[in-house]
Homo-oligomer: A and B are copies of this chain.
Amino acid sequence: MKIEILCTGDEILTGKTVNTNYSHLAQRLTEHGFQTYWGTTVGDDSGSLLTAFRQASERADAVIVNGGLGPTVDDLTQVIAAQAANQPLELNHYWLGEIESWYHKNGRVMPTNNQKQAMLPAGSELIDNPIGTACGFALNINSARFFFTPGVPREFKLMVEDEILPRLQAMRGNTIYTQVKRFHSFGIGESRADRLLADIEKMAPQRDVKLGFQSHFPQLETKLTISDTNQDTLKKKLEPLTNAVREKLGNFVVAEDNETLEGVIIQALAKSNALLAIAETGTAGGVLSRLLGCSSNNNITRGYAATNYDELCAMLDASNNTGIATNQPVVETVHQLCESAQCSIGLMVHLEHNQKSNESANISIAIGNKTGVHMREGTLPGRVGWTKTAAIELALDCLRRYLLNLPVYERIDFEQH
């Protein structure tokens, strides 16, 4: 089945808005076993819209059109769709009622130009939009089935899930269930992950599992996509593959599916009833910020951040005259942190850029409690922004490993060996 995506609107055409609706839809189609065959972008211009609708209707089996369903004069989608399908526009009384009650609920009276949103080409199938005044609709133009969707991302995404994907599945004739299993790892690059997982696709007897990677530096996302007409078969097929990926990527997997690294840490802290305090320098308070950004952050007590290490020690009222290593977090400063913050676990992070080359930074992480402290040191190559991002991730990952009793010392691909 050939599927096209047709995005409309001057804001998208002129690049004022980055077209994330397109990438979202194309991804969801891929994940449901559909192939996007063509993408078109045109502005709020009747001539372009008509040509685009006609050309798409000659190429594709299904066309998803996005945008142009608003109440203003530059929203032309219904008018041009009607023209392309040789149908008149008709008032959909049901949808008009929906718009009116939407305004009523919000304590307002519907402006007259919103009536336009209930005008649909004759013969259209109405597609519900439970959270907005622009309904979707489906219509045949030539031999292609067109699905018209609103441009507002929240409304669009909901309609894609609840209305468009099921209709496309019905068109395909059989319901194909697709599951995407995702692994978020830190510390291994895409090429190493690719080598480690070289035989994964072959493990599926029917070769119907797709392995994919997406790099969101400093994390790597590994995806297994699998489709089947039967949901139970799907689960059975996926299980050994999931286990194999977990085994191959090992301790580098920091989270799965919708979990995040910081979420896993927060959970582990809650489970062990631990109180964490953080002191960091060189990382712009990034470790703190990531953890405090989680909704249930009751197990984090305090965060100290400073622009240099001496200042950080001064904040903790700790002396740095240990003679062990200048400017390095040491056992004593973690003890001092636990003491000052009255917490059970202290995490100290110290990143310092290599003044000479300006192309690497030294990272020192100390984590522990009053009875024992783990140290993790290394050199991260790269420019300032890059090393900061990598250092924050490394510190969080060391904390995760510490909490889950995994080795804190395991080397990562992103450091100098």
Contacts and interface: CB of A to CB of B under 8 A. Distances in A.
Interface in A12-34: 12-20, 22-27, 29-30
* Most B-side CB within 10 Å, residue of A5, A25, A36, A298: A36
A409 interface: no
B292 A285 contact: yes
Given A305-B288, A307-B301, A14 B40 contact: no
B315 A307 contact: no
Copies of this protein in the complex: 2
Nearest to A385: B293
A29 B37 CA distance: 27
B292 A307 contact: yes
Interface in A301-354: 301-307, 311, 315, 341
B41 A39 contact: yes
A40 B37 contact: no
Interface in A91-146: none
A302 B301 contact: no
Given A30-B15, A36-B13, A39-B40, A292 B301 contact: no
B18 A36 contact: no
A79 interface: no
A288 B23 CA distance: 34
A371 interface: no
Given A16-B30, A38-B41, A285-B292, 11 more contacts: A13-B38, A14-B29, A19-B19, A55-B55, A292-B305, A295-B384, A297-B307, A302-B306, A303-B303, A303-B305, A304-B315
